[in-house]
Structure 1
Amino acid sequence: MIKIELLDKSHDRKRFDCGTTQLNMFLQKTARQHITKGMSRTFVLINDENSKEILGFYTLSICEVETEYLPPIIAKKYPDQIPALKLARLAVSKKHQHKGYGNYLIGSAVEKVILISENVGIIGLFVDAKDSHTKEYYEQFGFISLHGKPLALFLPIKTLVHYKSTTNQ
Structure 2
Amino acid sequence: MELTISILDKTHQRNNFECGRPALDHYIKKQASQDTKRDLAVCYVLCRKDEPEVIGYYTLSSHAVARSEFPEELARKLPYLEIPTVLLGRLALSSSYQGKGLGEFLLTEALNRCAKLGNEMGILAVTVDPIDEDARRFYAAFGFIALPGSGRMFMTIKTIEEELPGGDQEKP
Using structure 2 for the length normalisation, give the TM-score: 0.92
Q: Deviations over 1:66-119 (max 9, x none)?
A: 111111111112121111001100000011111111111011101110111111
The answer to whether the 8 A contact 2:65-2:85 is kept is yes
Q: Which moved more, 1:60-69 or 1:128-137?
A: 128-137
- Which residue does 1:162 correspond to in 2? 162
The separation in 2 between residues aligned to 1:160 and 1:86, in whole angstroms, is 14
- Given that 2:64 and 2:84 are in contact with CA atoms closer than 8 Å, whether structure 1 keeps it comes out as yes
Indicate conservation of the 8 Å contact 1:65/1:81, yes or no: yes
1:55 maps to a residue whose letter is: I
Question: What secondary structure sits across from 1:32 in the alignment?
Answer: helix
Letter in 1 for 2:32: A
Q: Does the 8 Å CA contact 2:108/2:165 hold for their aligned counterparts?
A: no
Q: How far apart are 1:39 and its partner, in Å?
A: 1.0
CA distance in 1, matches of 2:107, 2:119: 18
2:87 maps to what in 1? 86
Partner of 1:67: 67
For 1:168 and 1:4, how far apart are their aligned partners in 2? 13
Cα pair 1:141 1:163 within 8 Å, conserved: no
**Is 1:122 paired with 2:138?**
no
Q: Distance in 2 between matches of 1:138 and 1:80?
A: 26
Q: Tell me if the contact between 1:13 and 1:27 (Cα under 8 Å) persists in the aligned partners.
A: yes
TM-superposed deviation, 1:33: 1.3
Does 1:103 find its partner at 2:90?
A: no
C-alpha distance in 1, partners of 2:5/2:136?
Answer: 24
Q: Could you tell me how far 1:164 is from its partner in structure 2?
A: 3.0
Which position in structure 2 is the counterpart of 1:112?
113
Aligned pairs, how many?
Answer: 167
Aligned pair in 2 of structure 1 residues 167, 92: CA closer, same or farther (>3 Å)? same
Deviations 1:2-44 (A, max 9, x none): 1211111111111111111111111111111111111110001
* Percentage of matched positions with identical amino acids: 33
1:165, distance to aligned residue in structure 2 (A)? 4.0
Shift of 1:133: 2.2
Q: CA RMSD in A?
A: 1.5
